[in-house]
């Protein structure tokens, strides 16, 4: 029996609640397949598009006098709730159809970050929808947000992305796993909080979900970390005429490609770095990066990029 942490990318979950629910239903059978094979499975997910949409919507409503202003950490908690709801529902339905008895629980997860993290002075984490250069410039002028071009797909708002240091609810998550519960945790990288005088306080940022997923996988001593995103493989020279897919990477090869600037900071780079942090010093561990749609084939070794410990 293996312990597996599966991280679903926020971009791979669609652009609307309706699209997200459809996509989550399509992947539920593969996730349940992991459980039927005798594995302990923990699910995490991104929230970049979703938290950005919630933040913009709440900001618009506040500016028009429809509601009070909503802090960014609360928007992150909202995204954990509704994405977790969709995942829970789809997984519960799939379990029921297969005659399996298993509880499914979403934990609204807080993750401690360092208030002195330099990321707070250099926002890099894309959130929300894609915009044209002109649309992004207009929103920047109106709201003071920061936008960057994102891997040739358009312009997106960026927010600070501090490194995760500690998962607050880790003991509860481990207890649930040990009791056979299918756990959804560290959604959107977790709600970022800082410790001040022994108390926790939320901060306006989005922790990269791959980094938090790797921390979670390491803390629960998982055997595998599977990062699901919008592409089947990790590529070098991505979106270029000489684009090349990578099926396997050693730690040394991955670091060489990082040093060569092959992976965008707001896209594939944190995924590679998360995988490296998970497998480092653990030759028995394995990390896989592939698409949501390709999960079944990846589990059979027919798709995806494998990073070895």
Q: Between the CA of residue 237 and those of 152, 244, 262, what are the distances in Å?
A: 12, 7, 7
Residue recorded with tokens 């360092």: 114
Please say if 10 is a catalytic residue. Answer: yes
- Tell me which H or E stretch contains 112: strand 110-112
Write the Ramachandran bin of 298: left for phi over 0, alpha for psi from -120 to 50, otherwise beta: alpha
Question: Which is catalytic among the residues 9, 10, 48, 187?
Answer: 10
The distance from CA 217 to its chain's CA centroid, rounded to whole angstroms, is 13
Please say if 102 is a catalytic residue. Answer: no
According to the 3-state scheme, what is the secondary structure of 9-46? CCHHHCCCHHHHHHHHHHHHHHHHHHHHCCCEEEEEEC
Please say if 125 is a catalytic residue. Answer: yes
**Of 70, 7, 46, 68, residue with least CA distance to 206:** 46
Please say if 154 is a catalytic residue. Answer: no
Question: Which is catalytic among the residues 46, 47, 189, 209?
Answer: 209
Question: Which is catalytic among the residues 11, 46, 84, 294?
Answer: 11
Measured distance CA(120)–CA(160) in Å, rounded: 5
Write the Ramachandran bin of 179: left for phi over 0, alpha for psi from -120 to 50, otherwise beta: alpha
Measured distance CA(268)–CA(286) in Å, rounded: 18
Question: Which is catalytic among the residues 46, 125, 188, 190?
Answer: 125
Active site residues: 10-11, 125, 209, 271
């Amino acid at each position: 029996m293996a312990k597996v942490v599966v991280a679903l990318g926020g971009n791979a979950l669609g652009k609307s609640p309706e699209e997200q629910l459809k996509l989550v239903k399509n992947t539920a059978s593969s996730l349940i397949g992991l459980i039927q094979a005798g594995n302990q499975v923990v699910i995490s997910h991104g929230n970049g598009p979703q938290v950005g949409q919630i933040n913009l919507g709440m900001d618009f409503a506040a500016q028009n006098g429809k509601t009070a202003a909503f802090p960014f950490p609360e928007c992150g908690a909202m995204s954990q709730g509704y994405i977790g709801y969709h995942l829970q529902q789809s997984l519960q339905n799939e379990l029921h159809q297969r005659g399996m008895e298993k509880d499914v629980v979403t934990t609204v997860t807080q993750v401690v970050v360092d208030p002195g993290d330099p990321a707070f002075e250099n926002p890099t984490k894309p959130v929300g929808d894609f915009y044209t250069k002109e649309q992004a410039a207009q929103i920047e002028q109106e709201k003071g947000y920061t936008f960057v071009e994102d891997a040739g797909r358009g312009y997106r708002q960026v927010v600070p992305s501090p490194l995760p240091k500690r998962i607050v609810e880790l003991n509860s998550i481990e207890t649930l796993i040990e009791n056979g519960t299918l756990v959804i945790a560290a959604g959107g990288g977790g709600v970022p909080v800082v410790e001040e005088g022994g108390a926790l306080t939320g901060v306006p940022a989005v922790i990269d979900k791959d980094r938090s997923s790797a921390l979670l996988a390491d803390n629960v001593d998982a055997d595998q970390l599977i990062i699901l995103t919008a592409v089947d493989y990790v590529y070098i020279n991505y979106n270029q005429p000489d684009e090349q897919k990578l099926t396997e990477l050693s730690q040394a090869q991955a670091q060489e490609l990082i040093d060569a600037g092959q992976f965008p900071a707001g896209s594939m780079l944190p995924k590679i770095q998360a995988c490296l942090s998970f497998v480092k010093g653990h030759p028995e561990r394995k990390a896989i990066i592939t698409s949501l749609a390709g999960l079944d084939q990846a589990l059979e070794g027919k798709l995806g990029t494998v990073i070895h410990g």
